[in-house]
């Protein structure tokens, strides 16, 4: 599976632009005739007068273009359309729309001047001739492999516990793109297998006919030659074509070609309506000196392998199934375009949030038990560190820990964090404290679930203990803006005051409350909030008890919840007072969530993938839609408005019955 996924990804990504181009051009050239008519209707419409002899018409065109060599004549498809003459002029192919009645050239341009023809060439040969055709065929082979491996990967990794074709609209862009990619891939797999297979068979005909020849006989179509006859003129074109018509009476002519360019051999393609293949042709090679037939290739005379090969083009172009098949192929080609976009974009989205390896470039004990760390990107690339943002550190043993960024404004050389040692914790802080300069750590991109609204009239910054980490970045940012704020910072003791230098530079806007101060100077949350100027917003970070006091004070003072922004760091978990409840899932199932399990754990047991990062309601990673019911929100990242419709299942619970997802 891993190998298959690796092949699928590393075949698809490099080919995505080429295949995207082929998908889009393919979707258009399926309607080549209609599109040409739309773009050049006047130039492709005949004036309706009786047709000139072909020799007269061609002679007139060539007389005015003495440097030109006739390559091919496409016959009018309807009585009111024109001939298309293909001329070689100095190695460049020109196409002329010529009125059958007047012989007038209605339009004349190189292939680049016929946009749909140019798109066709781009699709088939990448405008690079035979080499481009080979590349095009090989990319088709890549698509064939992708179209087979994709559904296998989908089936092996299909989501259990939810609809096979369900698209997760919650869970982030990367997940949405992945679900869309899988859904489109499964629906489009069969048509894409057929389209890529037939495309490869056509574009790499030289090789594929050898393979087909192993199973069934394949014959070539040798081109006859006619040696020059000194002094003998070639027959008029009309006479040669009459000889071809006599070979297949009543069959319309598709086109006339002049292999070799000498004009001594003329190849006429007539329709062969007796063949089962819809666009089968009766190909007659004629000697232009006397109109004798040199060779004839028809469906009936071909061996089975050749007939199989001949089916590939009409299937690929959709002509084998009429308008319905062409529309279906067009839809499939657009599906392929969607697959390539969702595949590449999804990969980029996953990559954007996947952890990167950073260097520890500084360790700095900030206080007893708190270590400051600076983590630098490769090549010293600058970092983005908004006030309130945090980064995920991916530690050994699958531990992921969130740390607020403490960067001062303009400090972009490395991520700055502070880690408090938790001897009784699960090992994350011990691992962090063991880091040394030069060590490598895996770090996710910064996310901000505790943003600072810099447009409000006044900020009240409240911090307790290690909760100063996001608050110091906010205070420095507000000071840099010249915005009014006050900062109240409670610590266990004077030695526990972090960032003392930075705080001292903020002057009398900062109020410290070390618990060992004599006389004791307690932070009275209710009083500082009550005395804050109107319109003040609180940004607070600290342990759960501290935040609960702020919530209570805000409630008592009648503060709008939108003015209170909290971030905590104490684990919440189910808690000893947790009650069981029931949750209805998107697929209609109802699961029991026992008192000793979180909702995230119960959902995972039920087969739903829930991404959990902090597990504490801090980061917002696990957020799910709350469709109905009453929830006991224990997170510190959702606003009161968001709590109406969202829930963090890592810590929040339902009361009675809720519906999620
Ligand atoms: S995992 Fe972080 S909020 Fe749930």
Q: Are 424 and 339 in contact (CB under 8 A)?
A: no
- Does the N-terminal peptide bond of residue 175 adopt cis geometry, omega within 30 degrees of 0? no
Q: Ligand 1 centroid vs 301 CA: distance in angstroms? A: 71
Provide the pLDDT for residue 163. 55
Beta bridge partners of 541: 463, 567
What is the mean predicted confidence (pLDDT) over 392-421? 89
What φ, ψ does residue 538 adopt, rounded to 5°?
A: -95, 135
Q: Ligand 1 centroid vs 630 CA: distance in angstroms? A: 19
> Which ligand 1 atom is the nearest neighbour of the CA of 651?
4
Q: How confident is the model at residue 620 (pLDDT cuts 50, 70, 90)?
A: confident
614 lines ligand 1 (CB under 6 A): yes
Provide the pLDDT for residue 395. 81
Tell me which of 152-156, 468-472, 522-526 is least confident. 152-156
638 lines ligand 1 (CB under 6 A): no
Provide the pLDDT for residue 161. 47
Domain boundaries, given as residue ranges, for the chain? 1-40+114-219+302-352, 355-443, 459-568, 581-660
The DSSP code for 234 is: P
Prediction ipTM score: 0.99
Q: Ligand 1 centroid vs 374 CA: distance in angstroms? A: 24
Per-residue burial over 593-611, b = 16 or more CB atoms within 10 Å of its CB, e = otherwise: beeebbbbbbbbebebebe
What φ, ψ does residue 2 adopt, rounded to 5°?
A: -65, -40
Q: Are 129 and 92 in contact (CB under 8 A)?
A: no
Instruction: Please state the three-class secondary structure of 277-321 as a single string.
Output: CCCCEEEEEEECCCCCEEEEECCCCCCHHHHHHHHHHHHHHCHHH
Measuring CA to CA, which residue among 302, 267, 22, 307 is closest to residue 142? Answer: 22
* pLDDT score of 378 more than 50: yes
610 lines ligand 1 (CB under 6 A): no
Q: Are 661 and 651 in contact (CB under 8 A)?
A: no
Strands (E), 339-491: 356-367, 370-376, 390-394, 400-404, 415-420, 440-443, 459-464, 485-491
Beta bridge partners of 250: none
Provide the pLDDT for residue 520. 79
Do the first three CATH levels of 355-443 and 459-568 match, i.e. the same topology?
A: no
601 lines ligand 1 (CB under 6 A): no
* pLDDT score of 535 more than 70: yes
Distance CA(413)–CA(360), nearest Å, equals 12
Residue of 400, 617, 642, 652 to mutate, ligand 1, most atoms within 8 A of C-beta = 617
Per-residue burial over 4-14, b = 16 or more CB atoms within 10 Å of its CB, e = otherwise: eeeebeebbee
According to CATH, the topology of domain 355-443 is Elongation Factor Tu (Ef-tu); domain 3 (2.40.30)
> Which ligand 1 atom is the nearest neighbour of the CA of 617?
3
617 lines ligand 1 (CB under 6 A): yes
Measuring CA to CA, which residue among 33, 31, 46, 32 is closest to residue 79? Answer: 46
Residue of 401, 444, 621, 647 to mutate, ligand 1, most atoms within 8 A of C-beta = 621
Q: Ligand 1 centroid vs 570 CA: distance in angstroms? A: 12
User: Alpha carbon of 270 to those of 47, 242, 276, 428: distances in Å?
Assistant: 25, 12, 15, 79
Q: How confident is the model at residue 643 (pLDDT cuts 50, 70, 90)?
A: confident
568 lines ligand 1 (CB under 6 A): no
Q: Ligand 1 centroid vs 614 CA: distance in angstroms? A: 5
22 lines ligand 1 (CB under 6 A): no
What is the mean predicted confidence (pLDDT) over 116-138? 96
Q: Which residue has the least CA distance to atom 3 on ligand 1?
A: 617
Per-residue burial over 368-403, b = 16 or more CB atoms within 10 Å of its CB, e = otherwise: ebbbbbbbbbeeeeebebbbbbbbbbbbeeeebbbb
According to CATH, the topology of domain 581-660 is Ubiquitin-like (UB roll) (3.10.20)
613 lines ligand 1 (CB under 6 A): yes
pLDDT tens digits, 10-60 = 999 999 999 999 999 999 999 999 999 999 999 999 998 999 999 999 999
pLDDT tens digits, 596-606 = 889 988 998 88
According to CATH, the topology of domain 459-568 is Rossmann fold (3.40.50)
What is the mean predicted confidence (pLDDT) over 107-123? 96
């Amino acid at each position: 599976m891993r190998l298959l996924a690796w092949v699928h990804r590393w075949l698809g990504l490099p080919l995505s632009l080429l295949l995207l181009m082929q998908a889009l051009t393919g979707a258009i050239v399926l309607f080549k005739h209609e599109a040409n008519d739309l773009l050049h209707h006047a130039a492709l419409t005949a004036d309706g007068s009786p047709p000139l002899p072909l020799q007269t018409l061609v002679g007139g065109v060539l007389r005015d273009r003495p440097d030109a060599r006739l390559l091919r004549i496409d016959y009018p498809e309807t009585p009111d359309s024109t001939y298309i003459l293909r001329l070689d002029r100095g190695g460049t192919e020109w196409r002329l729309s010529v009125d059958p009645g007047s012989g007038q050239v209605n339009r004349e341009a190189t292939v680049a001047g016929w946009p749909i023809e140019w798109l066709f060439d781009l699709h088939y040969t990448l405008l690079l001739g035979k080499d481009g055709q080979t590349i095009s065929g090989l990319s088709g082979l890549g698509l064939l492999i992708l179209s087979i491996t994709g559904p296998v990967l989908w089936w092996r990794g299909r989501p259990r516990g939810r609809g096979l074709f369900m698209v997760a609209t919650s869970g982030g862009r990367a997940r949405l793109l992945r679900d869309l990619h899988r859904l489109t891939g499964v629906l489009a797999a069969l048509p894409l297998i057929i389209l890529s297979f037939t495309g490869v068979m056509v574009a790499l005909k030289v090789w594929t006919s050898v393979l087909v020849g192993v199973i069934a006989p394949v014959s070539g179509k040798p081109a006859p030659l006619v040696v020059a006859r000194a002094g003998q003129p070639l027959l008029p074109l009309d006479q040669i074509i009459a000889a071809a018509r006599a070979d297949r009476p009543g069959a319309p002519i598709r086109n006339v070609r002049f292999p070799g360019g000498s004009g001594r051999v003329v190849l006429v393609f007539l329709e062969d309506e007796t063949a089962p293949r819809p666009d089968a042709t009766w190909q007659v090679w004629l000697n232009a000196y006397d109109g004798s037939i040199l060779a004839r290739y028809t469906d009936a005379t071909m061996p089975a392998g050749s007939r199989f090969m001949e089916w590939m083009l009409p299937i690929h172009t959709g002509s084998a199934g009429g308008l319905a098949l062409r529309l279906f192929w067009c839809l499939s080609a657009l599906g392929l375009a969607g697959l390539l976009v969702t595949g590449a974009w999804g990969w980029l989205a996953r990559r954007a949030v996947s952890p990167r390896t950073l260097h520890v470039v500084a360790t700095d004990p900030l206080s007893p038990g708190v270590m400051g760390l600076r983590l630098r990107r490769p090549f010293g690339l600058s970092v983005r560190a908004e006030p309130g943002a945090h980064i995920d550190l991916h530690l050994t043993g699958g531990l992921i820990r969130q740390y607020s960024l403490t960067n001062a404004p303009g400090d972009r050389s490395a991520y700055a964090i502070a880690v408090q040692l938790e001897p009784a914790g699960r090992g994350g802080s011990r691992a962090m404290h063991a880091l040394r300069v030069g060590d490598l750590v895996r770090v996710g991109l910064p996310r901000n679930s505790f943003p600072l609204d810099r447009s409000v009239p006044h900020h009240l910054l409240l911090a307790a203990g290690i909760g100063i980490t996001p608050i110091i970045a906010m205070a420095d940012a507000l000071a840099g803006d010249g915005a009014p704020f006050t900062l109240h910072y409670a610590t266990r003791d004077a030695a526990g005051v972090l960032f003392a230098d930075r705080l001292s530079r903020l002057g009398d806007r900062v109020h410290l409350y070390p618990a060992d101060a004599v006389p004791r100077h307690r932070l009275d949350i209710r009083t500082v909030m009550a005395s804050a100027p109107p319109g003040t917003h609180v940004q607070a970070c600290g342990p759960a008890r501290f935040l609960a006091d702020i919530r209570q004070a805000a409630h008592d003072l009648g503060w709008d919840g939108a003015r209170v922004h909290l971030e905590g760091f104490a684990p919440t978990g189910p808690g000893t007072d947790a009650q069981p409840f029931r949750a209805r899932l998107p697929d209609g199932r109802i699961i029991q969530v026992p008192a000793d399990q979180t909702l995230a754990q119960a959902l995972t047991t039920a087969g739903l993938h829930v991404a959990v990062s902090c597990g504490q309601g801090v980061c917002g990673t696990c957020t799910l839609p709350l469709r109905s019911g009453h929830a006991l929100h224990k997170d510190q990242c959702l606003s009161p408005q968001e709590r109406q419709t969202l829930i963090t299942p890592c810590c929040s619970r339902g009361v009675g019955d809720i519906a999620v997802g």
